[in-house]
Amino acid sequence: MIKVRRSFLLAVLLGVLLSAAVAYGQRPLRIRGERWLTVSEINGYVEIVPFQGERRQAQIGDFLDRAGDLLITGDNASARLDVDQAVGYIRMAENSQLQIRALSVTQSGGYITDLFVLLGQVRLRIRPLTNPASRIEIYTPAGVTGVRGTDFGVTVQTEGTTGVATLEGSVASSAQGETVRVNTRQQSLTRPGEPPTPPEPLRDDPTLYIEVLRQLGGGQTDDMGNPLVQIAGFTDIVNLLDIEDDRKILDEAGRFDLTVPLPANRRISAQVITPLGTVQNYELVLP
């Protein structure tokens, strides 16, 4: 009789809570799992793509807790994700994509956090992990980087080339069966299908060097009739380069040679982002 009474009281209490939520126009409460990432800061337009659910604009307080959940930052946008249990946080630059691969807790209490950076730039500040079973791994199209407590950043270019830079601590960058340690104030690069390069001194240099900037002769235009401009130069190979909000591919030396439409004001915008998130904006002016 006592069990029946308790079940009845629980059912009544649940009904009251649900009715209150509807009455006040609140969304139904969602039970959070053992592990999650919380969206704590948003600048500009950021989208969340749940593994199960509809794509929508992200809001502060949203959380990602399932393998496959994806966060996307748009042009001139950024976001911060806090890792549960005060493990640390992740900052995403504009035009970046971060997806959960796995969030779990081992039988010994270790925290497993596997994330996939599909594109763009992220910076992580992670406190030292005290449980030997804990791990944080950042996957990219080129390889994987393991972390146990550090301040480091990652860039992923459109074809998957990955730059890793460590400000403090140490990370293990692995690909094609080879691993290198990227220690304090070092950086490394991994191209798809190749092992990581040997670590080099950290540069964190967003300088853009322009060698050619000229309007093409012969009346050459794009499909919309806009004159075309040739731009050639280089930047650090681990950096990301945007020209007129379009991410460009760098060759093996960090060089580029491309043509873009000439805006009416004859000014071409460019932006360079380092793995640590240092940003430098440029305005290329044609006379």
- Give just the sign of the alpha carbon dihedral 47, 48, 53, 59: negative
Strands 150-156 and 144-147: unpaired
Three-class SS of 94-161: CCCEEEEEEEEECCCCCEEEEEEEEEEEEEEEECCCCCCCCEEEEECCCCEEEECCEEEEEEECCCCC
- In whole angstroms, give the CA distance from residue 284 to residue 286: 7
Residue type, 96: S
Residue 39: beta bridge partners?
81
- pTM value? 0.85
CA 32 remoteness from chain centre: 23
148: amino acid identity, one letter: R
pLDDT of 157: 97
Of 261, 226, 264, nearest to 246 (Cα)?
A: 261
Q: Regarding beta strands 88-92 and 63-64, do their DSSP bridges make them parallel or antiparallel, or are they unpaired? A: unpaired
Share of the chain above pLDDT 70, in %: 89
C-alpha 269/C-alpha 265 separation (Å) is: 11
Please tell me the predicted confidence (pLDDT) of residue 9: 41
Parallel, antiparallel, or unpaired for β 111-126 and 135-139?
Answer: parallel
Q: Which of 65, 99, 66 is nearest to 85 (CA)?
A: 65
Q: What pLDDT shows up at residue 66?
A: 92
Residue 268 · residue 229 · CB < 8 Å = yes
pLDDT for 84-141, tens place per residue? 878 899 999 999 999 999 998 888 888 899 999 999 999 999 999 888 889 999 999 9
Q: Are 159 and 166 in contact (CB under 8 A)?
A: no
Contact 167, 187 (CB under 8 A): no
pLDDT digits (tens, 9 = 90+) for 149-174: 899 999 999 999 999 999 999 999 99
- Of 122, 114, 108, 130, the closest CA to residue 240 belongs to 122
Closest by CA to 165, choosing from 235, 239, 71, 256, is 239
Point out the residues of the chain with pLDDT beneath 70: 1-33
